[in-house]
Chain A
Amino acid sequence: MKKISIQNLNKDFGDTVVFKDFSCSFDNGINIIMGPSGSGKTTLLNAFAGLEDYGGLIEIDGIKYQNKCDILVSYMFQEHRLIVQKTVFQNLDFALFSSIKDKAERKDRIDTMLEAIGLTEAKSLYPRQLSGGMAQRAALARAFLFKSDILLMDEPFKGLDSDTKETVIDIFFKLWEKDKRTVLFVTHDEYEAKRLGGVIYNFPNKPISGIIIS
């Protein structure tokens, strides 16, 4: 698990300033980021994922990344983001393509993961044939299959009914216990925040500036 900190982060989208000299240190376990809509939570995750440029510094285990972060991260988005033209197996295989070159090894790892999360039967199904919970489980599998030390989760359980949410959270813990990573988990849901039991960071309305401590 990696120790993450942000120093003097600056980010704007034209006239909209999201972060202004923002600093924060995250725990190397599960971190819950809460805050109103549009407060920059997703932008922060995108900065970690290398999807957004920024001003300032992101420090991960002592290595400093200025302007753009290019570390390997696993990212579970708000939507499942499975490729609709590929089966569950093909989706996972696609995501692992660059990190595991050996096809047989990819297959073994995917099969093991699908069994662990109870999706073996669904491996040949296409995303539109999956329920919301199954699709999010497949996305969770993809996130854990991809080798990285940081797991970004952007309201991944939004829209799931309470029973399905419980199931997916249980699976999340099962996978996380086996393969612990630093988690940045964005949510609006206080129940989810409590259930995940991590360190909670409350983001104010943008522009976010100064230092935020849990």
Chain B
Amino acid sequence: MQKKTLKKIIFFTLSIITIISLWWIFSSVQSLRTSRVIPSPWQTIIRISQEIQEGMLFSSIFRTLLKVLTAVLISFILGFLIALLASFNQNIRHFITPFVTIIRAVPTIGVILVLIVIFRSSFLIAVIIASIMIFPMLYENFYTAFKEVDKNILQMARVHKIPKLKQVLGVYVPSMLPHIFSGLIQSVGMGLKVVIAAEIMAIPFRGTLGSNMFGASQYPDFELLFAYIVVAIAVSFLIEGGLRLLAKLTMPWKKR
């Protein structure tokens, strides 16, 4: 194993141990004072395993992820098309910039409240709000990707009379891949947060990560609430890991 990889693993493990230790310390201090708001890591793990046994967990994850992935797909297509136009025409870029700035600044909760009044479908509310929040990230990543395609390489391709499609596949796509993966990794994390927020607010969601968290907070069952928070983090972590692995596999020139 390379020294660099070993260091990475050591520091990653240290970080996880620190996080779990801090969590454990907070839960211990808390339990001495008042009723248990922060359960211990161990109690949380037990609660997660109970949820798995009851068969509720995976269907909840699936329902939430479906919304996240739908939102990512919509924003991906929109971000790609608008960034493509903006990279070719600065006027379109100037036109789009205020929209992107406003979307970035707008409070998520405020938009969810407005959407709840307009739409009846809670699925639609979650997908719309997540798409709105993800779009600026993907748009900016795509725009940068288009702008960073090496003009000298395109000139070389023109000299060698390389067909346009081959130029797209051989020059544009490889050059854009790092930005695309970066955008996707950010989007899935953000998408999951926003969809869960929408699920909490826009009841009647049933059997989703957000609704389960909301339900747990109403009883109140803090062990269950924490269990679902940890599950949400784990899901985000796994998807990010998967995307990073895919990025490594599709970009072999980066790992050497």
By a beta-carbon cutoff of 8 Å, the part of chain A in contact with chain B is: 49-51, 72-73, 75, 77, 79, 81, 83-87, 94-99, 126, 128-129, 146
Contacts and interface: CB of A to CB of B under 8 A. Distances in A.
12 contacts: A50-B158, A50-B159, A51-B155, A77-B156, A85-B175, A85-B253, A86-B174, A86-B253, A87-B253, A94-B157, A94-B162, A99-B160
Q: Is the interface of B mostly helix, strand, loop or mixed?
A: helix
Contacts of A146: 160
Nearest to B156: A81
A75 B174 contact: no
A83 B162 contact: no
A75 B253 contact: no
A86 B256 CA distance: 12
A73 B160 CA distance: 8
Contacts of A94: 157, 160, 162, 166, 170
Interface string B218-229: 000000000000
Given A51-B155, A81-B152, A86 B170 contact: yes
A83 B170 contact: yes
Nearest to A87: B253
Q: Is the interface of A mostly helix, strand, loop or mixed?
A: loop
A98 B162 contact: yes
A134 to B, nearest CB: 15
A129 B47 CA distance: 51
Given A97-B170, A98-B160, A98-B161, 19 more contacts: A49-B159, A50-B158, A72-B161, A75-B156, A79-B152, A81-B155, A83-B153, A83-B171, A85-B251, A87-B253, A94-B157, A94-B162, A94-B166, A94-B170, A96-B160, A98-B163, A126-B253, A128-B253, A129-B256
